[in-house]
Amino acid sequence: MAKESNANNSKVKRASAPTIDVRSGMDVESLKQAITEHLFYQQGRNIVNTSLNDLYMAVSHTVHDRLLQHEHKTMNAVFDNNNVRLVSYMSAEFLMGPQLGVNLIDLNIMAEMEQAVQELGFSLNTIMAQEEEPGLGNGGLGRLAACYIDSMASQQIPAIGYGIRYEFGIFDQVIRDGWQVEITDKWLRNGNPWESARPELAVNVKFGGHTESYLDSNEYLRYRWKPDYMVTGIPYDTPIMGYKVPSCNFLRLWKSEAEESFDFSSFNQGDYYKAVEYKVKSENISKVLYPNDEMLGGKKLRLKQQYFFVSCSLQDMMNIHLRFDGKPQDFHKRWAIQLNDTHPSVAVAELMRILVDEYHVDWDVAWHTTCSTCSYTNHTLLPEALEKWPVGLFAYLIPRVLEIIFEINYRFLKEVSSRFPGDNGKLSRMSIIDESGEKFVRMANLACVGCCAINGVAELHTELLKQQILHDWVEMFPERFHNVTNGVTPRRFVVLSNPGLSNLIIESIGDKWPGKLDELRKLEPFADDAAFREKFRSVKLENKKILAALIKERTGVVVNPSSMFDVQVKRIHEYKRQHLSVLHIIALYLRIKQNPDIDIVPRTFIFGGKAAPGYFSAKLIIKLINSVGDVVNNDPDVKDRLKVVFFPDFNVTNAQLIYPAADLSEQISTAGKEASGTGNMKFSMNGALTIGTLDGANVEIREEVGNDNFFLFGLTAAQVEDAKRNGYNPHFIYDNNEELRNVISMINSGRFSNGDTNLFKPITDNLLWHDPFMLMADFSLYIACQDLVAETWKNTAEWNRMAILNVARMGKFSSDRSIQDYCEKIWKVKPFNIRKA
Ligand code: F58
Cα–Cα distance measured from residue 238 to residue 236, given in angstroms and rounded to the nearest whole number: 7
Kindly give the distance from the C-alpha atom of residue 1 to the centroid of ligand 1, in angstroms, as a whole number: 42
Q: What is the pLDDT of residues 598-648, one digit of tens each?
A: 999 999 999 999 999 999 999 999 999 999 999 999 999 999 999 999 999
Kindly give the distance from the C-alpha atom of residue 431 to the centroid of ligand 1, in angstroms, as a whole number: 25
One-letter amino acid at 55 equals L
One-letter amino acid at 703 equals E
Q: Which residue, among 313, 398, 386, 306, has the nearest Cα to 351 in the 3D structure?
A: 313
Residue-wise burial string across 500-527, b where 16 or more C-beta atoms lie within 10 A, e elsewhere: bbbebbeeebeeebbbebebbeebeebb
Structural domains in the chain plus CATH codes:
19-80+99-132 (no CATH), 84-92+141-486+821-836 (3.40.50.2000), 496-813 (3.40.50.2000)
Residue 16 has pLDDT above 80, yes or no: no
Cα–Cα distance measured from residue 200 to residue 50, given in angstroms and rounded to the nearest whole number: 34
Pocket of ligand 1 (CB under 6 A): 138-141, 144, 292-294, 296, 379-380, 385, 457, 486, 674-678, 696
- What confidence category does residue 292 fall into, taking pLDDT thresholds of 50, 70 and 90? confident
Catalytic residue among 571, 584, 641, 817: 571
User: Interhelix angle for 775-794 vs 578-594, to 10°?
Assistant: 60
Ligand 1: nearest atom to the Cα of 697: 9
343 catalytic per annotation: no
Q: What is the pLDDT of residue 296?
A: 59
Cβ atoms 251, 160 nearer than 8 A: yes
Q: What is the pLDDT of residue 261?
A: 63
Kindly give the distance from the C-alpha atom of residue 40 to the centroid of ligand 1, in angstroms, as a whole number: 43
836 catalytic per annotation: no
Cα–Cα distance measured from residue 195 to residue 238, given in angstroms and rounded to the nearest whole number: 5
Q: What is the pLDDT of residues 94-139, one digit of tens each?
A: 999 999 999 999 999 999 999 999 999 999 999 999 999 999 999 9
Q: Which residue, among 377, 456, 340, 469, has the nearest Cα to 700 in the 3D structure?
A: 456
- Residues above pLDDT 90, as percent of the chain: 92
First and final CA of the chain: distance in angstroms? Answer: 48
Cα–Cα distance measured from residue 449 to residue 420, given in angstroms and rounded to the nearest whole number: 16
- What confidence category does residue 267 fall into, taking pLDDT thresholds of 50, 70 and 90? low
Cβ atoms 293, 174 nearer than 8 A: no
Residue to mutate, 93, 95, 141, 151, ligand 1, most ligand atoms under 8 Å from C-beta: 141
327 catalytic per annotation: no
Residue to mutate, 338, 379, 669, ligand 1, most ligand atoms under 8 Å from C-beta: 379
Minimal-distance CA residue to ligand 1 atom 16: 141
Minimal-distance CA residue to ligand 1 atom 11: 141
Cα–Cα distance measured from residue 206 to residue 228, given in angstroms and rounded to the nearest whole number: 8
Residue 253 has pLDDT above 90, yes or no: yes
Q: What is the pLDDT of residue 108?
A: 98
Q: What is the pLDDT of residue 270?
A: 75
Residue 263 has pLDDT above 80, yes or no: no
682 catalytic per annotation: yes
Q: What is the pLDDT of residues 48-81, one digit of tens each?
A: 999 999 999 999 999 999 999 999 999 999 988 8
SS3 for 404? helix
Residue 7 has pLDDT above 60, yes or no: no
Ligand 1: nearest atom to the Cα of 457: 13
Ligand 1: nearest atom to the Cα of 674: 7
Ligand 1: nearest atom to the Cα of 677: 9
Catalytic residue among 466, 544, 576, 610: 576
Please give the DSSP secondary-structure letter assigned to residue 722. Answer: H
Q: What is the pLDDT of residue 8?
A: 41
Cα–Cα distance measured from residue 648 to residue 670, given in angstroms and rounded to the nearest whole number: 25
Q: What is the pLDDT of residues 424-456, one digit of tens each?
A: 999 999 999 999 999 999 999 999 999 999 999
Kindly give the distance from the C-alpha atom of residue 615 to the centroid of ligand 1, in angstroms, as a whole number: 16
Minimal-distance CA residue to ligand 1 atom 18: 293
Question: Rounded to 5 degrees, what are φ and ψ at 205?
Answer: -125, 135
Three-class SS of 451-489: CCEEEECCHHHHHHHHHCCCHHHHHHCHHHEEECCCCEC
Cβ atoms 664, 606 nearer than 8 A: no
Cα–Cα distance measured from residue 231 to residue 308, given in angstroms and rounded to the nearest whole number: 8
Ligand 1: nearest atom to the Cα of 92: 20
Q: What is the pLDDT of residues 328-352, one digit of tens each?
A: 999 999 999 999 999 999 999 999 9
Cα–Cα distance measured from residue 584 to residue 604, given in angstroms and rounded to the nearest whole number: 13
Q: How many helices (H) and strands (E) does the chain have?
A: 33, 25
Cα–Cα distance measured from residue 688 to residue 681, given in angstroms and rounded to the nearest whole number: 10
Q: What is the pLDDT of residues 728-741, one digit of tens each?
A: 999 999 999 999 99
CA dihedral 38, 654, 124, 135 (to 10 degrees): -10
- Radius of gyration of the chain from Cα atoms? 28
Kindly give the distance from the C-alpha atom of residue 294 to the centroid of ligand 1, in angstroms, as a whole number: 9
